[in-house]
Amino acid sequence: GAAVKDFMSPDRVVVGVKSERARKLLSKLYRPFLINNFRVLFMDIPSAEMTKYAANAMLATRISFMNDVANLCERVGADVNMVRKGIGADTRIGKKFLYPGCGYGGSCFPKDVRALIRTAEQSGYRMRVLEAVEQVNEQQKGVLFEKLSRHYGGDLRALTVTIWGLAFKPETDDVREAPALRLIEQLAEAGCRIKVYDPVAMEECRRRVGDKVIYCKDMYEAAIDSDALMMLTEWKEFRLPSFAVLARTMRQRVVFDGRNIYEKEELEEHGFVYYKIG
């Protein structure tokens, strides 16, 4: 991941303190950051804790909102990629965390959203927006399976399905709450033969799902004799595959793009049926 880089070049540092003495001591500790003009924000401890949870919950909210918009776009004939660009051009909103997909995962967003919901419940309050954020995300993890089921008329037995990407995001082997885990469970229950490939997360996936899937040595081996290719994690090596090779080796030319990184026109030139989010 980017933990070291993020630590050395933070967007901001939030420090919770109980007293002025603590603030002065920590100011000395964080002096290198102050010299480099990084923002160091001192506040009381409850506010610092809330800042951490609320920041991640805000980003999760943007993701779930865009996924909801993407699903509506499919139903009304709009292109969510165009909508995303139009929204992001508004300087009040900005471009970050507006990309629709097959749901968020990892160790932070799901945990922090739930923590705020639970804290609110314990305080006699309901975080209705975050309850909806979590619900949308859980539903979104099943969107690709629903598309696959509709394409093949509901009977998925004996299909071979390829999954590219197991980690919840690129540049990590973390598969905690990754959309791929949900998809693997759904495909296995439907009787599919599942072939997977991820540059670094194969062992973590094996530890969690065992032999439910076939672990392949590269992206192209995973696609051989496949009836569907499902791209879940936007690793760099997945961004520019040879669709000519895939067209020759896949049994059925069907691609489900869970991160909207491919161009429909390019896939159609090679005879593929292409599904994206929104």
b/e code 109-136 from CB counts within 10 Å (16+ = b): bbebbebbbeeeeeeeeebeebbebbeb
Q: How many whole angstroms separate alpha carbon 234 and alpha carbon 110?
A: 20
Name the token pair of 101: 């997909």
Neighbours of 253 (CB within 10 A): 20
The total of other beta-carbon atoms located within 10 Å of residue 276's CB is: 24
Which one of 73, 102, 108, 216 is the catalytic residue? 108
Give residue 156's identity as a one-letter amino acid code. Answer: L
Q: Which amino acid is at 172?
A: T
The amino acid at residue 241 is P
- The answer to whether 108 is a known catalytic residue is yes
Can you say how many angstroms the Cα of residue 218 is from the centroid of all Cα atoms in its chain? 21
User: Are both 48-140 and 143-275 of the same fold?
Assistant: yes
Residues pairing with 197 in the sheet: 164
How far apart CA 93 and CA 113 sit, in angstroms, is: 21
> What CATH homologous superfamily does 48-140 map to?
NAD(P)-binding Rossmann-like Domain (3.40.50.720)
253: which residues sit within 8 A by CB, 6+ positions away? 246, 247, 270, 271, 272, 273
Q: pLDDT value at position 141?
A: 98
Listed by start position, the domains of the chain span 3-47, 48-140, 143-275
Selected from 3.40.250.10, 2.40.50.140, 3.30.910.20, 3.40.50.720, the CATH number assigned to the domain covering 143-275 reads 3.40.50.720
Could you give the 3-state DSSP secondary structure of residue 191? coil
Say which residues have a Cβ less than 8 Å from residue 121's Cβ, sequence separation at least 6: none
**Residue 16 forms beta bridges with which residues?**
43
Task: Per residue of the chain (278 residues), give pLDDT as tens.
Answer: 677 777 777 778 888 989 999 888 988 888 877 776 678 889 999 999 999 999 999 999 999 999 999 999 999 999 999 999 999 999 999 999 999 999 999 999 999 999 999 999 999 999 999 999 999 999 999 999 999 999 999 899 999 999 999 999 999 999 999 999 999 999 999 999 999 999 999 999 999 999 999 999 999 999 999 999 999 999 999 999 999 999 999 999 999 999 999 999 999 999 999 999 99
DSSP annotation of 211: G
Q: What are phi and psi of 220, to 5 degrees?
A: -80, -35
Report the greatest alpha carbon distance in the chain.
69
C-alpha span between 255 and 267 (Å, rounded): 8
The single residue listed with the structure tokens 């392949």 is: 216
Q: Distance (Å, rounded) from C-alpha 256 to C-alpha 239?
A: 14
Q: Is the pTM of this model over 0.85?
A: yes
